[in-house]
Structure 1
Amino acid sequence: MGPAAQQFYVPDLLSILNLQSNTNPHEDVVRAETEKWVYLYGIFTDVAWDKFLESDVPRFASRTFFYADRQKLRDCSDFCLLMFALDDITDDEDKKKGTLTSQASIHAMQSNGPALSSSPAERMIKDYRARFFKATGPILQRRLLKGWEATFKAFPKELEVRESKEVLSIEEYTLIRRDSCALRMAFTHIEYALGIELPDGVYENPVFNELYLAALDMAWLLNDVYSYGKEHAKGQATWNYLTVVMHEKSGNLQTAADYSGVKFRELYDRFIDAKSRLPSWGKPLDSDVAAFLEGVGIWLAGTLRWCFEMPRYFGPHYEDISFTYLVDLGVFDA
């Protein structure tokens, strides 16, 4: 017997990766520090703060950067909390307000000068920027700035689609989602956590770019599939890969979820194939590239583990779903 109309099975994406996911030994210490850092800016009301804490973003950072030393885990955790906080703050903004938020966020990250306003979010961005720039060289700084600008320029496009209830084609959606997902910046933090800086020539290599895009697509795809219930409850599911697939392929929710699992497998196979075709840049760069690619795998596996450890995406029955993979849309709060 298949699932009811308001239920669907999400694919077991972790089994496709077949990678272990550990936690960082500095998780508990860093959790207290990084949550205090966000709290002191006063971004959330008491109720919203309690809701935000349920996601346990420091655990997310612990799983995705389990190899980082204490200070780098703290910085990566702060980055993750900053991005999750901005995501929650802007979640209900319309295009007009969201565009202003995006412009202010870009200015706060790119400018050495003061923030355009005294908003807590802009001050947090300024704070994080100063620390990241102090700890890194020009290559990672440039890479972070480029990813940040791409993310917040894509965000108003996302809001426009949400407001209009337009459903894009798979190709159109993919091109915008690659930027709006903020994962280019997350991957830059993999380099930072490893203590490496890959030269631009590596990123410009077509084979490396092929596997990089495959990893990027896997990362936002898993987020879309596992967060569908939450977005559906908020009336925001038009901006989700499952909706896009249902529209383009004329299928139902279950067939779209099944299709996403197949797509994830194709992307992973593409990643592995491209990895086998990478050129050699000689020592020690080849070792740095290999470490980065391992870090990407850790990011993907860690994200998938975390999704089943917190109620952020699967609601109150997240522990059950980790065994059954059956999502009930009726249990989500708007």
Structure 2
Amino acid sequence: MTAQNMDTIILPDLISTCPFKLECNQEYEIVSAETDAWLNSYGISNSESMTKYNRFWALAYPHASRTTLRNTSDAMTLMFMIDDLFDTSYGKGISDKTKQQLFKNIVDCFQPAGSFKPLTPFTTALHDWWQRMLDSTTPHFQEHFLNAYRIGVETVLSVLADKKTGQSVPDLETYIRIRRKTSFGDAGLAFIEYIFDIVLPDECWSNEALQHLSDCVTDVAAFANDIYSFNVEQIHDQYNLITVLMHDDSSLTIQQAMDRAGQMIIDRYNDFERIRREIPSWGKEIDAQVEKYINEATYMISGTIHWSFETPKYFGAQTEEAN
């Protein structure tokens, strides 16, 4: 991996150090074709052979049924594409005001049919998807997903505003808090509730240990993205975990910051294993659901790391070399 004004960087080994199993959903190819056809019906083109976006969800949710994987893949692949849209040169040409309007339109699309006015094919598709989900999901899932997504969008807009005013690079602790929201990891975790019909009382969700487990999953996804996308983001003069670490400790080289970021992910692996043993008991029935939630969350961790070297999103033609 190379970048401007720096030598080759050795990526941290996050695969052999990952203690969690990797599986791929057996419905992947069928669902991938269905999702791409659904997107195409709105004039939205996704080439799975080029992006591998549907593949990510098949790795993250290997035990989902065909129907639940399809519903998950439709929305989350679309959200991947929306994120890419704002990250590309096309997104750079959009004014901040227009970005705010588009993001607001995305949030507004999650409402019952009738009054919503889409501004793009993306929000038309998301709105239609949400009508489908309103008929087949629990209020618990709907609340958790919407809260996570709205908080994520609001935080993205706040970060955009800070960058416009030239606000300095945040300290590490602040950055991690922000990144947990902008990674939309909690939205991804909410789909575990949907896929496996998990309905836990608020007492469980407010438990500190379970919250820390969720943070571990989100941190791995966010930090890995920051490591693998660093080459692109530094070209566009954007900060992420690597630059935040170097800002916090000016003595660090890029390689040392990469190594430290990698160790932070390995620490999250270990934290997850430790914390899962500290989860309290809420009775046999609830405990079984909590255990299912935790076990399935491990696939989001392993899936994230392995998928990063299957998609050309980060390394393009150099993906094999990076791996």
Q: TM-score, normalised by structure 1?
A: 0.87
Which structure 2 residue ranges, 5 or more long, are not aligned? none
Aligned equivalent of 1:204: 206
Aligned equivalent of 1:24: 25
SS of equivalent residue, structure 1 residue 13: coil
1:247 matched to 2:252? The reply is no
Aligned equivalent of 1:75: 71
| Structure 2 Cα separation of the partners of residues 116 and 125 of structure 1 | 12
Aligned equivalent of 1:95: 96
Q: Deviations over 1:157-202 (max 9, x none)?
A: 2323444373221122112111111111100012212232222221
Q: Residue 70 of structure 1 aligns to which amino acid in structure 2?
A: R
Aligned equivalent of 2:82: 86
| Structure 1 Cα separation of the partners of residues 183 and 127 of structure 2 | 21
| CA contact 1:147–1:184 (8 Å) conserved in 2 | yes
SS of equivalent residue, structure 2 residue 110: helix
| Structure 1 Cα separation of the partners of residues 168 and 8 of structure 2 | 24
SS of equivalent residue, structure 2 residue 116: coil
Select 1:54's aligned residue among 40, 50, 56: 50
Aligned equivalent of 2:233: 231
Q: What are the equivalent positions in structure 2 for 1:1-334 lying under 5 Å apart?
A: 5-43=6-44, 49=46, 54-91=50-87, 92=91, 93-110=94-111, 112-163=113-164, 164=166, 166-233=168-235, 235-238=236-239, 240-250=240-250, 251-322=252-323
SS of equivalent residue, structure 2 residue 9: strand
SS of equivalent residue, structure 1 residue 21: coil
Q: 1:23 to 1:307 in 2, by over 3 A?
A: same
| Structure 1 Cα separation of the partners of residues 75 and 97 of structure 2 | 26
Q: Deviations over 1:253-308 (max 9, x none)?
A: 11111111121122222222221111101112111111111111101101111111
Which structure 1 residue ranges, 5 or more long, are not aligned? 323-334
SS of equivalent residue, structure 1 residue 10: coil
SS of equivalent residue, structure 1 residue 42: coil
SS of equivalent residue, structure 2 residue 62: coil
Q: Residue 244 of structure 2 aligns to which amino acid in structure 1?
A: V
Q: Residue 145 of structure 1 aligns to which amino acid in structure 2?
A: L
| CA contact 2:64–2:196 (8 Å) conserved in 1 | yes
Q: Percent identity?
A: 28
| CA contact 1:109–1:129 (8 Å) conserved in 2 | yes
| CA contact 1:98–1:159 (8 Å) conserved in 2 | no
Q: CA deviation at 1:55?
A: 1.2
Q: 1:149 to 1:112 in 2, by over 3 A?
A: farther
| Structure 1 Cα separation of the partners of residues 293 and 196 of structure 2 | 8
Aligned residues: 314
Q: CA deviation at 1:110?
A: 4.0
Q: Residue 108 of structure 2 aligns to which amino acid in structure 1?
A: H
Q: CA deviation at 1:112?
A: 4.6
State the Cα RMSD in Å.
Answer: 2.1
| Structure 1 Cα separation of the partners of residues 7 and 197 of structure 2 | 46
Q: CA deviation at 1:127?
A: 1.3
| Structure 2 Cα separation of the partners of residues 257 and 321 of structure 1 | 14
Q: 1:38 to 1:236 in 2, by over 3 A?
A: farther
Q: CA deviation at 1:227?
A: 1.7
| CA contact 1:161–1:167 (8 Å) conserved in 2 | no
| Structure 2 Cα separation of the partners of residues 78 and 111 of structure 1 | 18
Q: Residue 151 of structure 1 aligns to which amino acid in structure 2?
A: G
| Structure 1 Cα separation of the partners of residues 225 and 287 of structure 2 | 30
| Structure 2 Cα separation of the partners of residues 63 and 244 of structure 1 | 30
| Structure 1 Cα separation of the partners of residues 160 and 49 of structure 2 | 25
SS of equivalent residue, structure 2 residue 198: coil
| Structure 2 Cα separation of the partners of residues 179 and 237 of structure 1 | 17
| CA contact 2:185–2:217 (8 Å) conserved in 1 | no
Aligned equivalent of 1:331: none
Q: Residue 56 of structure 1 aligns to which amino acid in structure 2?
A: K
Q: CA deviation at 1:232?
A: 2.8
| CA contact 1:8–1:254 (8 Å) conserved in 2 | yes
Q: 1:97 to 1:172 in 2, by over 3 A?
A: farther
Q: 1:127 to 1:66 in 2, by over 3 A?
A: same
| Structure 1 Cα separation of the partners of residues 13 and 56 of structure 2 | 19
